[in-house]
């Protein structure tokens, strides 16, 4: 039995909901199935053998995707860069995760949001750590929590909850988004983390207008840097979609 078959079977055997699942024959289908059943698994302990094999598998998967090193990203303006790519392949001190208020990751087996992707490639240890931190509580908008990054190339993850915009953008939505960026910078500064990558917080399913969110992100960070010189070496705006790349280039330059 190869590693992915072992990992799939271990998760199926511990969850009666999965007892009738048929394991596909192709490797790509197995990878998709494994990600899906990991995503629906609640936070709970598992064997050391499982974790060892999982970690080897995930680190190999990330390496195959291609790791991007912070020092290889050109700084576009002072210490700020715009970089388009998969944040789970970025080797920096800390990446920021746009999470939900429960801080347990996305349980939708087929979703490809950043929260789902980060938890999927960090490993099940991340959900367990988040659960131990939250203990059933919820994280208010704009607040931040630091965790290990486990199998990701980054050292740490800062998790923050962005506002959900309900048709009309309110002053509270704007302040909550500012807090996501400001509090992430404050926490990174407190922990001595010098390189940090931010995604486009709240602009996906949470409905924050992209152009406005970009302006808030840039202004919050540039204002922070004016009062905190030499605190950071590199701040990266991580964009994934072409539309976001265009918006950030327009507003940064």
pLDDT tens-digit readout, 126-140: 999 999 999 999 999
How much is the pTM? 0.96
What does the pLDDT look like over 88-98, one tens digit per residue? 999 999 999 99
CA angle, 157 as apex, 5 and 6 as ends, to 5°?
5
Tokens 């203990």 appear where? 135
Nearest to 184 by CA among 212, 221, 216: 221
pLDDT band at 110 (very low <50, low <70, confident <90, very high): confident
Among 165, 125, 131, CA closest to 145:
131
The confidence score (pLDDT) of residue 204 equals: 87
Domains, the chain, with CATH or none:
69-252 (3.40.220.10)
Angle at 29 between CA 34 and CA 21, to 5 degrees: 60
What value does the mean pLDDT of the chain take? 96
Range 26-53 average pLDDT = 96
The pLDDT of 19-27, averaged and rounded, is 93
Q: Are 208 and 167 in contact (CB under 8 A)?
A: no
Q: Where are the beta strands (DSSP E) in 85-179?
A: 90-91, 94-99, 144-148, 156-161
Provide, rounded to the nearest whole percent, the portion of the chain with pLDDT above 90: 96
CB distance 30 to 21 below 8 Å: no
Of 204, 185, 183, 181, residue with least CA distance to 195: 185
The pLDDT tens digits of the residues spanning 191-218 come to: 999 999 999 999 988 999 999 999 999 9
Which helix (DSSP H) or strand (DSSP E) does residue 68 occupy?
A: strand 68-69
Q: Determine how many CB atoms are found less than 10 A away from the CB of residue 31.
A: 15
Is a pLDDT exceeding 70 seen at residue 23?
A: yes
pLDDT on residue 2? 86
Single out the residue of 50, 55, 199 nearest to residue 121, CA to CA: 55
pLDDT of residue 205: 85
Q: What is the pLDDT of residue 141?
A: 98
Cα separation, 138 vs 140, in Å, equals 6
Flag the least confident range among 106-110, 128-132, 139-143, 234-238. 106-110
DSSP E strands: which ranges in 85-127?
A: 90-91, 94-99
| pLDDT for the residue numbered 199 | 98
- Assign 1 a pLDDT band (cuts: 50, 70, 90): low
């Amino acid at each position: 039995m190869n590693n992915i078959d072992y990992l799939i079977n271990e998760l199926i055997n511990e969850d009666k909901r999965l007892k009738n699942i048929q394991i596909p024959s192709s490797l790509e289908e197995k990878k998709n199935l494994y990600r899906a059943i990991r995503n629906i698994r609640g936070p709970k302990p598992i064997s050391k053998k499982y974790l060892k094999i999982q970690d080897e598998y995930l680190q190999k998967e990330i390496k195959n995707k291609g790791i991007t090193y912070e020092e290889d990203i050109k700084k576009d303006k002072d210490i700020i860069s715009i970089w388009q790519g998969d944040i789970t392949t970025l080797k920096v001190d800390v990446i920021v995760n746009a999470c939900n208020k429960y801080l347990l990751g996305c349980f939708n087996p087929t979703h490809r949001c950043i929260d789902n992707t980060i938890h999927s490639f960090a490993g099940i240890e991340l959900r367990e750590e988040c659960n131990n931190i939250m203990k059933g509580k919820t994280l208010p908008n704009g607040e931040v929590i630091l965790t290990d990054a486990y199998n990701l190339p980054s050292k740490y993850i800062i998790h923050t909850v962005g506002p959900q915009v309900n048709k009309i953008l309110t002053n509270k939505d704007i302040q909550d988004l500012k807090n996501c960026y400001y509090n992430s910078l404050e926490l990174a500064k407190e922990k001595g983390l010098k390189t940090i990558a931010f995604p486009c917080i709240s602009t996906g399913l949470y409905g924050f207008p992209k152009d406005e969110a970009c302006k808030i992100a840039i202004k919050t960070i540039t204002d922070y840097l004016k009062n905190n010189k030499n605190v950071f070496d590199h701040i990266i705006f991580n964009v994934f979609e072409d539309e976001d790349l265009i918006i950030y280039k327009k507003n940064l330059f």
